[in-house]
Structure 1
Amino acid sequence: MKLTKRLFMSAVAIGIVGTMSGAALAADTIAIITPSHDNPFFKAEADGAAAKAKELGYSAMVLVHNDDANKQNELFDSAIAAGVKAIILDNAGADASVAAVKKAKDKGIPSFLIDREITTAGVAVSQIVSNNYQGAQLGADEFVKLMGEKGNFAELVGKESDTNAGIRSKGYHDVIDQYTDLKMVARQTANWSQTEAFNVMESILQAHPDIKGVISGNDTMAMGAYAALDAAGRKDVIVVGFDGSNDVRDSIKKGGIKATVLQPAYDQAQLAVTQADKFIKSGKTGADEKQLMDCVLINADNAAKLETFALK
């Protein structure tokens, strides 16, 4: 059954990709592949990239891999078969994504990575990521200040397969570990998940009822941790996140979570599309492959200015 271009684009916009030929797509289409839009950070990336693609005259093929490298590989096959001009990718694993990006490159389709790096250089045209180490140090400095430089704390870590999880943790510890009266009593992964963070926080709280603070590798886990603490009547525990989500912004404004670190997801995605457009037209971006965008501390002083992973 042959779909019109409009119906096909409606299908791919919600991640439903069948076995249609590339002829069904517009001549100039950019594929945007991210983790699940259930996480507002990834939705902001997709929205930012799609908006910039439309502004520059492209159609947007918006797809979701749900952090599944096999599904990501299938989406790459669909994008390649559709003859897209470029792929914007927030990948499903630093090692596991290299083959898919290389496959697209070998077919003449350039990839522009955002948020997460891959472990091999020279395969993607651009890897535009937040300066996670710089951002983590900002968050850690604020955490130390909020903790009064002493007390027991826990750290919630993201996915082990995600380079950002390790970089943020290192940034945190390079600051926090300088303070001998700050003692980490638990360090557990919650895989970037709010539900997992809730459950992990419940267990940590039972084992360490004297805990004073929680520093989280992302806002989604911070929200889960805060919900568990709230349910236990422990609003006294200091929680700091990382991402700059609207949910955490609202919590900060209400005196809940104390701080987060904004990584500019929307702007980052738009920059990737701008570079893709330049590369499509000229064969180069004018920038290095690996590019860092600095993060910004968000607390009660500036939370009101935060909207959809950007300061207004």
Structure 2
Amino acid sequence: MNRKAAAVFAAGVTLLTLAGCGSSAGSGSPSPAGSGEAGGAGKVITVIVNDPANPYWATEGNAAKAEGEKLGYKVNVNAHKGDTKTESDLIDAAITNKSAAILLDPANADGSIGAVQKATSAGIPVILVNAEINKQGLAKAQLVSNNAQGAALGAQEFVKAMGGKGTYVELKGAPSDNNAATRSNGYATVLSQYPDLKLLDAQVANWDQKQGHDKMQSMLQAHPDIQGVLAGNDPMALGAIAALKEAGKLATVKVGGFDGAPDAVDAVKAGSLSYSVLQPVAEFSAKAINYADQFIKTGKTGASDEKQAFDCTLITKDNVASYTSAFTLSK
């Protein structure tokens, strides 16, 4: 979760159209407006992302919009920017506008439960993407990156970059987002096996590049012997890189990221970022639209389980040439 270019999703990228099979999750009565009709038939799907200034979230919205329009829906993309009040207002607007479905990247694992409940009570199916809420049975599906698997991949590459020893610090994401804890715990599980790697400090930088820069500056002042930086996402990693460059220490410090965003990929190519863990955001955003479409038509998403995790991929100097477009590696 870099957050500079909102237009990172190329219009010509082919998105996966994934129809589900099976049927246990997302069961219920179909929306009357969508029952039995083929295609979107001009119905509205509301997509609510976090902040499209971040290329990860921009791709999330763009991928969902492209897939929805391909299926004949009108897709409105909005952003709550991490604010639950704005999120609630956007849900109200979607209800008023009689949206056939809502795709939501929740602002808060606990604080977004009420917004999902409100839409569900209004008869509008909600599909969650990228982040989860701490309640099952409300959303028709929750589609996220496999953050534990991705964190393990990143931590293993970090160990390799560090040569199995040295001092490092960690930059963590927003505590309100379960992804932050999952990634941090995933890092710790791997790194605890390497006693010669010493964690000097860990600071919350809320997925933000400027905060990553500022927290890195303060940690450098307290620990001038830092040899590695483990970041929960690419923007924080890029902020740390900027601070290290200003301090004249970039050449001696290894930095790892998480997202697979275009500017992070450029940093991997340049050698300033050791690696990034790519999240398949375009894939699961498109699949979420297909689940919404299936629910509108049949009252079922077709998903085998409510919660679904999509495996991440490591981007390093060895495979960075295979990066073909926003958050996509060639197969």
What 5-or-longer segments of structure 2 have no aligned partner? 1-40
Identity fraction in percent? 49
Question: For 2:42 and 2:293, how far apart are their aligned partners in 1?
Answer: 14
Compute the displacement of 1:304 (Å).
2.2
Where in structure 2 are the equivalents of 1:151-230 lying within 5 Å? 151-230=166-245
Distance (Å, rounded) in 1 between the aligned partners of 2:72 and 2:85: 31
Equivalent residue number for residue 310 of structure 1: 328
Counterpart of 1:120 (choices 132, 135, 138) is 135
Aligned to 1:289: 306
User: Are the counterparts in 2 of residues 248 and 257 from structure 1 also a CA contact under 8 Å?
Assistant: yes
Aligned-partner residue type, residue 112 of structure 1: I
Distance 1:244 1:183 in 2: 26
**2:82 counterpart letter in structure 1:** D
Q: What is the identity, as a one-letter code, of the residue corresponding to 1:103? A: K
Aligned pair partner of 1:241 in 240, 257, 279: 257
Gaps of 5+ in 1: 1-25
Q: 1:89 aligns with which of 104, 128, 131?
A: 104
When normalised by structure 2's length, the TM-score is 0.86
Tell me which protein shows more helix as a share of its residues. Answer: 1
Using the alignment, how far apart are the partners of 1:274 and 1:304 within structure 2? 30
TM-score normalised by the chain length of structure 1:
0.91
- For 2:167, the aligned partner's letter is N
Out of 292, 296, 300, the position equivalent to 1:280 is: 296
* In structure 2, C-alpha distance between the alignment counterparts of 1:27 and 1:119, rounded to whole Å: 33
Q: Deviations 1:195-224 (Å, cap 9, x if unpaired)?
A: 001000001111111110000000010010
Contact 1:249 1:304 in 2 (8 A): no
Task: State the one-letter code of the partner of 1:260.
Answer: S
- Residue pairs, 1:52-67, within 5 angstroms: 52-67=67-82
Contact 2:275-2:314 within 8 A present in 1 as well: yes
Q: Distance in 2 between matches of 1:216 and 1:304?
A: 23
Aligned counterparts of 1:123 and 1:310: Cα–Cα separation in 2: 31
- Answering whether residue 318 of structure 2 is matched by residue 301 of structure 1, we say yes
Q: Which residue of 2 aligns with 1:36?
A: 51
CA distance in 1, matches of 2:199, 2:145: 26
The answer (yes or no) to whether the contact 1:137–1:171 under 8 Å persists in 2 is yes
Return the letter of the residue paired with 1:247: D
User: How far off is 1:81 after superposition?
Assistant: 0.3
Is 1:266 the counterpart of 2:282 in the alignment?
yes
**Structure 2 partner of 1:22:** none
User: Relative to structure 2, which stretch is displaced further, 127-136 or 298-307?
Assistant: 298-307
In the alignment, the residues of structure 1 paired with residue 322 and residue 296 of structure 2 have an alpha-carbon distance, to the nearest angstrom, of 35
* AA matched with 2:316: N
Paired residues of 2:113 and 2:133 also in contact (CA < 8 A): yes
**Whole-angstrom CA distance in 2 between matches of 1:174 and 1:157:** 15
Q: Would you say how many aligned residue pairs link Structure 1 and Structure 2?
A: 287
5 Å-filtered alignment, 1:66-145, equals: 66-145=81-160
SS at match of 1:241: strand
Residue 27 of structure 1, CA deviation = 4.7
Higher relative contact order (CA 8 A, sep 6+): 2
Residues 42, 72 of structure 2: 8 Å contact kept: no
Contact 2:101 2:124 in 1 (8 A): yes
CA RMSD of aligned residues (A): 0.9
Work out the CA distance in 1 between the residues paired with 2:120 and 2:328. Answer: 31
Find the aligned partners of 2:126 and 2:329 in 1 and give their Cα distance.
27
Contact 2:209-2:235 at 8 Å conserved across structures: yes
Give the letter aligned to residue 154 of structure 1: V
